Amino acid sequence: MSNHLLPTTTKRAFDAPLVIGVISDTHIYTGSRREIAPALKRLFERAGVGLMVHLGDANSRSVLKEIAEIAPLIAVVGNNDDEDLQYLLPQTTRFTVGDYSFAAIHGHSGRSARDVAIERWAGKVDCILFGHSHKPLIEKEQGSILFNPGSPTDRRWYAHFGVGIITVDKTGIHPDLVLFEDANHLDSVSFDTEGA
């Protein structure tokens, strides 16, 4: 099920086990030289991703369409998204995987994205997904996992590009960051899919 104007799913309840691919801040405008690297798509496919989440600043609808080809897609708006996406995407959304609750937000309307995520969702959901800072992060705050995948295309002043893989099963939420300097190196990343 999807919004006819966007390639996103309206589904908000998913069964566990589930592998979630998390991506943010792709910053790919129409006609841009940036791209979602083929090796990144292969990484998500090898991980057995059953849901993709984009945390804002996709910048154009074509990027979301490309990501939705990997798996059903949930997306929120970022401050740099084009006018169409500003109008069509939610600022924040919630979803569940099995018994676990998630919230997604870009995080651009405060002192820091981390602060915005904490203020809005800490202690209210099991896992908070956010972007904006381009800084890969896994922390815990007020019982909630804070997860920022970084950016796969624009690392800014950080050492690595990044994306996220989150496995949800009956034992809990297992977040992982996949950090890289060159997308071509992603083909060497392997996953143990026995437990999922």
* DSSP, res 184: G
Contact 61, 84 (CB under 8 A): yes
Place of tokens 């069509």: 88
At a CB cut-off of 8 Å and minimum separation 6, what does 66 contact? Answer: 36
Determine the pLDDT at residue 35.
93
Contact 192, 184 (CB under 8 A): no
Mind listing the pLDDT tens digit for each residue in 85-142? 999 999 999 999 999 999 999 999 878 999 999 999 999 999 999 999 999 999 999 9
Mind listing the pLDDT tens digit for each residue in 64-84? 999 999 999 999 999 999 999
CATH number, domain 19-185 = 3.60.21.10
pTM: 0.95
3-state SS class at 162:
strand
Determine the pLDDT at residue 193.
53
Q: What is the mean pLDDT of residues 26-40?
A: 92
Rounded CA-CA distance 31/93 in Å is 29
Determine the pLDDT at residue 111.
84
pLDDT at residue 176 above 80? yes
Rounded CA-CA distance 171/6 in Å is 34
Q: What is the mean pLDDT of residues 4-10?
A: 88
CA-based torsion, 26, 31, 33, 37: positive or negative: positive
Mind listing the pLDDT tens digit for each residue in 131-173? 999 999 999 999 999 999 999 999 888 889 999 999 999 999 9
Determine the pLDDT at residue 53.
98
Determine the pLDDT at residue 64.
96
* DSSP, res 50: S
Determine the pLDDT at residue 126.
98
Q: What is the mean pLDDT of residues 24-40?
A: 92
Contact 87, 101 (CB under 8 A): no
Partnered with residue 93 across adjacent β-strands are 104
Compute the CA torsion angle 130, 69, 89, 47 (nearest 10 deg): -20
At a CB cut-off of 8 Å and minimum separation 6, what does 119 contact? Answer: 110
Query: Omega of the bond prior to 17 within 30 degrees of 0, cis?
Result: yes
